[in-house]
Chain A
Amino acid sequence: MVSMQELIERMKHFWAGEGCLIAEPYDLEKGAGTMNPETFLRVLGPQPYASAYVEPCRRPRDGRYGENPQRVEKHHQFQVIMKPSPDDIQERYLRSLESFGIVLGEHDLKFEEDNWEAPTLGAWGVGWQVMLDGTEITQFTYFQQAGGFELKPITVEITYGIERLCMFLNDIGNVYEIPWNEHFSYGDMRREAERQFSVYDFEEARTDLTAAWFDQYEAESRRLVEKELYLPAYDFCLKASHAFNILDARGAISVAARADYIKRVRRLACACAAAYMKQFEPAQEVARG
């Protein structure tokens, strides 16, 4: 058996060995590791960077009250970003799988086209979902744009679904049966939270309050970004994004309104990216400005 925590250790160990800084999760709710400023902001601008970290991700719509063996409101991603993308990044990735305990020669592995797009982040990339015996275990993306900016150099992002991979490694069909360590299961750690958050997301969340929060977070983010405090501004952008996700799960957003909310979050994200990018503008222009 490879426990959840053992797998995470192996992931960190491997990617630290590839020169990645091991960062920690960001302490706000978010739907994907990409939204961590460690990725969203670091992919912008010219300096090389490489980091890896675990990111807990909340997707209110995916909640199933702790009853579906494959779907959860909160899952864990292991996120790797490298800028510029190394020439042998695919080979490194395959070596990482072997280091987790997968004997590739005994399995069927395919890179299937899956171009990633995050409309709320003004970001898109080109890449694949990596399929191992028919299970999607990784999203592999060359970022092309983020926060509305064309990127150069290009960052590669590798996002492992930790639960999926752990279930695969242990040949388990039920996420709650994953051993977290030798004493605790995933179910021990997460099932009650899944139940409670599903009740909250689908039934209890007050839509009037949440919608008002969205407006407030949005206003605060805009206020802060004007003062060039793009980091706190980005925090409020993340909070607005999560409020939107809850409204969405509650079914409180019509099709037309949905597009509008997404556009509003994207504006915040793009404004933060623009503020962050100012530091890379040529010096004399900053002086003149």
Chain B
Amino acid sequence: MADFLLEIGTEEIPAGMLSFRSGMGGNRQDLPWRLAQSIIEALREHHLWNGADLDPDPDHDPFSEIPGGKMIAAPRRIGFLLPGLPARQDDRSETVVGPAMAVARDAGGQWTKAAEGFARKQGVDLDDCRQVQGPKGPCVGFERTVKGRPTEEILSEIVPAAVDALYLPKAMHWGNGSQTFVRPVRWVVALLDDQVVTLSIKGVAAGRISRGHRIHGAAEVEIASALAYFQTLRRERVLADPADRKRKIEDELGQRATALGGHVPGDPELLEKLVYLCEFPAVLAGGIPAEYLALPSEILVTCLREHQNFFVVRGAEDSVLPHFLSVTDGPDDPRGFIRRGLENVSRSRLSDARFFYEQDVKVPIEERLEALKGVVFQAKAGSYYDKSERLERTAKRLADLWGANAEGAAWAALHCKCDLVSLLVQEKEFTTLQGIAGGLYAAAQGQPAEVAEAIYDHYRPLFTEDALPRGVLGDCVAVADRLDTLSEMFTAGQAPTGSKDPFALRRAAVALLRILTEKARPLDLPSFLQEMGGVPEGLMDFLAGRLRFLWEVHGYGYDEANALLAFGLGDPAEAHRKIAALHTIRNEFAEDFDHLSVAFKRVRNILKGIPRYELAPELFLSEDQKEGAGERLLYAAYEAVKDEAGRLLDRRDYAGALRRLATVRPAVDRFFDDVLVMCDPQGKDPKKTALQQNRLALLQRLVALFDRVADFSEIVPREKEAGK
């Protein structure tokens, strides 16, 4: 078995193209991963690989299923080490299919011209041909042995083709302009064990000469064999495998922070960026000048993070310590040059940030409202000023509904976007502080804490795992903001389509639903939207879809979601409470609910288009008749749970209600075994018609009780599901 090493040497590829984290959607977009995977697929097609594919999980090593494999993904190189390739393809037999038998032989059973032509072209004797199965029936054909080709030969074809076929997020040309890649290709190493594979990538012929660290390694490094690659490069100050660099950064960050008496909060995004900005990372500590420690920590930390990629060391309760940690590419700093340089730059950056902050705080937040008229929210939905006015009204109404301080909510909502025209937030490095900055300014200007906090929190949650607003006023503003954005965008015809969601409406919807469900804020969305101006077409379905997504994350079944949403999405918090109860109780009483769901599917069909009938217990047949016993048993079961279940439902104790309701199952089973509901389908016999209507009335009552939780006919019985 041979080991294959490919290294494509380039000028610095942007971190975002090397890293999975910046990928779009659920697919891996990182260049090195896609390159390696496409070559593995090509090897498989050529019968040179029957091992695993790369692991697509970003939290796993891509080669977790391929022992001995390793990724090369650093600023100046991408590629991989793939072990276990055979030296050549096995010989294999292949069936060559010619014309259909019908045309290959004439009526007399003799070979036709068509058959002769085929044989001549293939260079075989017709005596060696026989009948084979073609795609559309019997054909003339023959078996032949295909000689396996050397792996090296195949690699020299498939590797350049795979590179040329790669999707490039942003392509460029260089030099004479004839080649296209993400950055200029400067060298290529391709080794099968210790032999150079003859191939050429983007006009560069492969060899065994790699390059070390740009500054701290050798300009040229000879790679003796595929397996020697990583060790050889490590000596030249290159950790080619990103996992090695990540480990080194994490270890050193931890050690440095501990030595400084603090810790560094996790920041996977920044860590990932630095992993792909360095070939040999090292962590260096520096000091934050004391005069800037008085800045709000959000501004200080964002400033150093966004401008300088620094981690700020935190002490007890996440207080800011006067130290930053920076990741440098390679060098020690014995003379303190780098540290001094970094401190100088951070001083000027912090000085800018402090200037912005001090200027901003001087401007009363109310005075900024007017300037929002000049900031476009959406062409058809007007300016941020218009939006602010809408938010004021919506948040006030929400506060009324939720028993919160309506005046406070209204003020916070009206002013929550004012920081968009502050000096700080207009700087691109500080845009992530939108909301937060407004909250800080409001607090500094003496607004009540809950109002300032509502502004501060109103962009939360920014992503699926992010924290929610802390207080109820924050909920009011955050929900008002999301509802407004969704309504306006849907009204303007900007609903997301396929993979396109330029206004991040999916995220807005998930944020909205998370706040309503996790904080149990009651809100009947259709009627509330109606009250606020209308329900845009498609919005409720879209929100229902997002709620399904959230429920899926919670581990609820798709059939449970169907059961809850069968009657449309009303109040998400209520629906959420119901599905939680349904999920739990259904597991407790699995058999009962399986039976009930089957029965309810029948009931649903029977009741389709039937008017509501009066229930008349005196019409039930007598106990000693089989049907009468069935009717009476179900009626008694219904009567036994109706009041208590109703009370529990009124109290929104859905679990309690479902537990009670589950007890009707034997009666339901018995009813359908023994009673013919549609005993007079043609309506010929008045007496039977009355009986039938009475039975339907009983089922209507029973279903209505269950419907207060969900549509149980949507539940897919577990056995059936397992059998699928």
Contact = CB atoms under 8 A, between A and B. Distances in A.
| A and B co-occur in one complex | yes
A137 B174 CA distance: 22
Interface in B182-236: 183-184, 186, 214-216, 219
Contact of A151 (B177, B183, B375): B177
Interface in A46-90: 69-70, 84-87, 90
B215 A111 contact: no
Interface in B353-397: 374-376
Contacts of B326: 134
Contacts of A252: none
A106 B177 CA distance: 36
Interface string A130-165: 001111000000101000000111101000000000
Interface centre among B215, B284, B347, by most chain A C-beta atoms within 10 angstroms, is B215
Given A128-B12, A134-B326, A173-B344, A107 B175 contact: no
Interface in B288-336: 308, 326, 328-331, 333, 335
B96 interface: no
B330 A153 contact: no
A255 B174 contact: no
A85 B333 CA distance: 33
Contacts of A86: 175
A254 B330 CA distance: 47
Contacts of A108: 284, 328-331, 338, 341
B12 A154 contact: no
A289 interface: no
A86 B11 CA distance: 13
Interface string B266-287: 0000000000011000001000
Contacts of B184: 85, 87, 142
A16 interface: no
A37 to B, nearest CB: 22
Interface string A164-180: 00001001010000000
A70 B345 CA distance: 10
B337 A110 contact: no
A113 interface: yes
Interface in A89-108: 90-91, 94, 104-108
A70 B15 CA distance: 28
B348 A134 contact: no
A126 interface: yes
Interface in B154-189: 170, 172-177, 183-184, 186
Given A113-B16, A126-B170, A132 B329 contact: no
Contacts of A69: 348
A173 B175 contact: no
A126 B12 contact: no
Nearest to A130: B12
Contacts of B328: 108
Interface residues of A, number: 38
Given A108-B328, A110-B278, A254-B374, A144 B173 contact: yes
A70 B348 contact: yes
Contact of B177 (A84, A87, A90): A84
A105 B215 contact: yes
Nearest to B328: A108
A115 B341 contact: no
B75 interface: yes
Contacts of B308: 134
A142 B16 contact: no
A21 interface: no
A168 B341 contact: yes
Contacts of A87: 175, 184, 186
Contact of B337 (A126, A133, A156): A133
A22 B346 CA distance: 35
A112 interface: yes
B376 A134 contact: no
A241 B15 CA distance: 34
Contacts of B172: 126, 142, 144
A115 B346 CA distance: 23
B183 to A, nearest CB: 8
A142 B174 contact: yes
Contact of B374 (A107, A144, A255): A255
A141 to B, nearest CB: 10
Nearest to B216: A105
Contacts of B342: 133-134
A168 to B, nearest CB: 7
Given A69-B348, A173-B347, 9 more contacts: A105-B331, A108-B328, A112-B12, A113-B14, A133-B341, A151-B173, A152-B176, A156-B174, A255-B376
17 contacts: A85-B184, A86-B175, A94-B215, A105-B216, A108-B329, A108-B341, A111-B11, A113-B15, A115-B170, A126-B183, A133-B340, A133-B342, A135-B345, A152-B173, A152-B176, A156-B174, A173-B344
Interface of A: 69-70, 84-87, 90-91, 94, 104-113, 115, 126, 128, 132-135, 142, 144, 151-154, 156, 168, 171, 173, 254-255
